[in-house]
Amino acid sequence: MNRDPYEVLGVARSATADQIREAHRRLAKKHHPDLSKKPESAAIFKEVQAAYDLLSDAASRKQFDQYGVSGPSRGHGGQGAGGFGGQGNWGNVDPSTFEEIFGDFLGSSRGGARSRRGAQAGGDLESEISVDFMTAAVGGVRHINMQSGGEPLQMDVRIPAGIESGGILRLRGKGSAGMGGGPAGDLVLRVTVAPHPWFKREGLDVLVEIPISITECALGTTVEVPLLEGFATLRIPPQTGSGKRLRLKGKGVVTKNASGDLYAMIRVDPPRVITNDDRAELENLKSREFDPRADAPWNTLK
């Protein structure tokens, strides 16, 4: 087949066998020419069946996932579309699927002795979404545009504050339609959070690197520190070296149940230009300075 079979069935590449079977049931029932009057139904049904034939066979699916091709034909790709699979090859379809798709039709053709089945809940659908760092940190709304069971699905999804990469959002009733009046399944979204140019996260804590000069390191200074929203004034004490973390309590990620802190990570940058006078002053300071490696633990090995 020309189109990606996962795209045809509207499922993720990680879909389980049950999810693939559920997507096929719903699409086959919708597009089989004996059940649909739309002129394009035959072509759509043929494509749906070919996709299911490929993905429902473990060996063919594995080969497609690895190489992007379905391998040798198993006799399912060229089936016709009429007469309850009369020309199509339905040998790969379980009896319950056939009954769910054609039960009502067969019942009415037998003088109204309609097949009665219990209500069945629809299956869950899985997908992935990418969320920017700030939306994941403070919360917001993300618009998604995806395929669900072969049909376009557009909706706004509320992103809770504090969600991290790998987090799961479950949208009730947005999955596959139920059978016999049963409830629809859920849409399960796995979240990936994009990196930020200067913020990093450790759980609910937020880290931001603050560069200072050598003189600011020695004498101390006051700087403006970016927050998730706005800025804060931070006093850096004298003799604060690189790697020191200064905490701004409660300025990290805030959720309903907890809040994190923001840590300003100090980085001492050397001067970009040193004049002769600067060098002389620094040499003078060096002669009176404490050796920072004097108490290093490895000195005991000498």
Q: Which residues of the chain have pLDDT under 70?
A: 1, 69-118, 147-151, 302
Final residue in a domain of this structure, among 193, 219, 241: 193
> Is residue 70 in a domain?
yes
Q: Identity (one letter) of the amino acid at 206? A: V
Q: Residue 89: its pLDDT value, please?
A: 46
Q: How much is the pTM?
A: 0.55
- Domain ranges, residue 164: 125-193
Q: Residue 116: its pLDDT value, please?
A: 44
> Is residue 232 in a domain?
yes
Residues 187 and 204 in one domain: no
Q: Residue 102: its pLDDT value, please?
A: 54
Q: Residue 94: its pLDDT value, please?
A: 54
Q: Residue 209: its pLDDT value, please?
A: 96
Residue 109 token pair = 């053709």
Q: Residue 150: its pLDDT value, please?
A: 63
> Is residue 167 in a domain?
yes
> Is residue 119 in a domain?
no
d(CA 50, CA 102): 19
Which residues 6+ apart lie within 8 Å of 99 measured at CB?
115, 117
Residues 184 and 204 in one domain: no
Q: Residue 103: its pLDDT value, please?
A: 53
Final residue in a domain of this structure, among 79, 109, 139: 109
Residue 295, exposed/middle/buried by CB under 10 A (0-12, 13-18, 19+)?
A: exposed
How many independent structural domains does the chain possess?
3
The tens digit of pLDDT for each residue in 131-140 reads 999 999 999 9
Which residue in 259, 256, 179 sits closest to 227, CA to CA? Answer: 259
Cβ neighbour number for residue 61 with a 10 Å cutoff: 19
Q: Residue 91: its pLDDT value, please?
A: 44
Alpha carbon distance, N-terminus to C-terminus of the chain = 72
CA dihedral 206, 207, 211, 217 (to 10 degrees): 100
